[in-house]
Amino acid sequence: MDLSTTYLGLNIKSPIVPSAGPLSEDIGNIRQMEDAGAGAVVLYSLFEEQIDHESLEFNYRTNIHSESFAEATTYFPDTFEYKFGPENYLEHISKVKASVDIPVIASLNGKSVGNWIKYAKLIEEAGADAIELNIYFLATDINQKSEELEKKYVHIVRRVSSEVKIPVAVKMHPFFSSVTHIAKEFSEAGAQGLVLFNRFYQPDMDLEKLEVIPNVILSTPMAMRLPLRWIGILYGRVSADLAATSGIYTEEDVIKMIMAGANVTQMLSAILKFGIGHIAEVITRLKLWMEKNEYDSLYQMRGSMSYKNVADPSSYERANYIKMLHSYK
């Protein structure tokens, strides 16, 4: 049974790729993921704020006036407490590469070009096999036009892609007015892969303290419907490889995404909920399903249920919306 696939020009032994998250902070966890059958791993993200924080900290430490007192450090701007800084991230990449045989994909999370170019190059030098750009720019300016924002996204992708030799993927969000067009733009700007979709974490409120607070909620299986639709629509229409993420829990989820056109399926919430051993369980059930249904490889099923290959393409469009509303009993 051949579970191998290709993604970003890399040979991947299975379609299950743990996505960026806290588990990849520990090399032991990554080794377990490899042993369980993961085809590659996306490391936890290096955030633009971490890079900026390190620059500010360096500037502060090297420009303290001799007449300053220790108590004056309270004037330094408040910053997040980051467990791993940029230098630690680069070192972590090198150590992971020396410890596992599967491809290692670094993750850069930010909103502007900034220091991304510099660190994209350093990530490449550290040995990463690819870079996943997680562009998170929240448009709060009421006067900023959507096309201006999209140009900003494409500019970041083009700049980073042109500065490194390793492949670059873009972790997209689903809130563009035309997902298909921006996907084409990213692909033409140099992105060799598109990850559908980034799930922005929304704020919550503490009604006792009357504060806006972060609140992380794991994705649910229902979340896979959104990337399923758009991967099915994009398959064969953009040159970039497609990765599915959000709500991937079972072997059936993996199969559906591959049939829609995905090269790989990224999984995190299921691993956090059920443990790293869940990867092996999904792979075992995936093999059984393929054997039962007489599939010898993933290549046989990839894209077979995509927009371009299904008998009724309207199933991916508005007509499906109407059918669903009338199908509920």
Contacting residues for 235 by C-beta, under 8 A, at least 6 apart: 242, 260, 261, 303, 306, 307, 308
Instruction: Work out the burial of residue 107: count CB atoms within 10 Å of its CB; fewer than 13 is exposed, 13-18 middle, 19 or more buried.
Output: buried
pTM of this structure: 0.86
Nearest to 95 by CA among 25, 12, 169, 40: 25
Helix pair angle (116-126, 86-99), 10° resolution: 30
Tens place of pLDDT for every residue, the chain, 329 residues?
899 999 999 999 999 999 999 999 999 999 999 999 999 999 998 987 766 554 444 343 334 444 443 333 343 334 444 456 788 999 999 999 999 999 999 999 876 677 778 889 999 999 999 999 998 777 788 898 888 889 999 999 999 999 999 999 999 999 898 999 999 999 999 999 999 998 777 788 989 999 988 777 888 889 999 999 999 999 999 999 999 999 999 999 999 999 999 999 999 999 999 999 999 999 999 999 999 999 999 999 999 999 988 877 777 776 566 666 666 66
CA dist 118 and 120 (Å) reads 6
Bridge partners of residue 74, in order along the sequence: none
Check if the beta carbon of residue 242 is closer than 8 Å to that of residue 266: no
